[in-house]
Amino acid sequence: MNPVRLAWVSLLLFCAASVGCDMQPHKPDAAGATSCRPIDEAEAARLFERWNDSLKTGDAHRVVANYAPRSILLPTVSNKPRVTEAEKLDYFEHFLENKPSGVIDFRFFIPGCNSAVDAGLYTFTFGTNGKVVHARYTYTYAWDGRQWLITSHHSSAMPEPVKP
């Protein structure tokens, strides 16, 4: 199996085994029936744009507001997992200094009940120096009863040069 296909299969198996692609329990409604907040790929795209737009503000607090209180950030340019709000703020305060802006190049979307997985490839351009970084990403989202929040975010630079 080629390495790219193996990586995607591993991601899907990880999702299925660790979180079952359903990160939040189903919430019963007033009548006791399970209610699920639907999400589709278009809404996942809007969630990425919300996050990307918060990057463009340069305000780390606005970026971190996209993350659930219990969430993890495995960032592109840091070896340290970020699980607390303070750790995420620290990361984004430094990351935002370079004025990043992202674009999704490839998306693989898995909807769930009150949850979603959005994984693929994105490209960041940094406004301070014009540097371009191609990276892989995975966002998992959970519906908190009011809004979609990021419960996990993994980003890693592509290991091989990207061909135009």
- Angle, CA 151 vertex, CA 147 and CA 154 arms, to 5°: 130
Rounded to whole angstroms, the maximal C-alpha distance in the chain is 56
Average of per-residue pLDDT across 83-94: 97
What does the alpha-carbon distance between residue 115 and residue 23 come to, in Å, rounded to a whole number? 6
- What's the confidence (pLDDT) of residue 34? 62
Residue ranges of E strands in the chain = 27-28, 34-35, 67-74, 100-111, 115-126, 132-143, 148-157
Predicted pLDDT of residue 126: 96
- CATH code for residues 39-157: 3.10.450.50
- CA distance linking residue 54 with residue 125, whole number of Å: 15
Pull the structure tokens for residue 114.
Answer: 């009150």
The answer on pLDDT for 10 being more than 90 is no
**Global confidence as pTM:** 0.80
Q: Is the predicted pLDDT of residue 15 greater than 90, yes or no?
A: no
Q: Which residue(s) pair with 35 in the sheet?
A: 27
Strand-pair partners of 28: 34
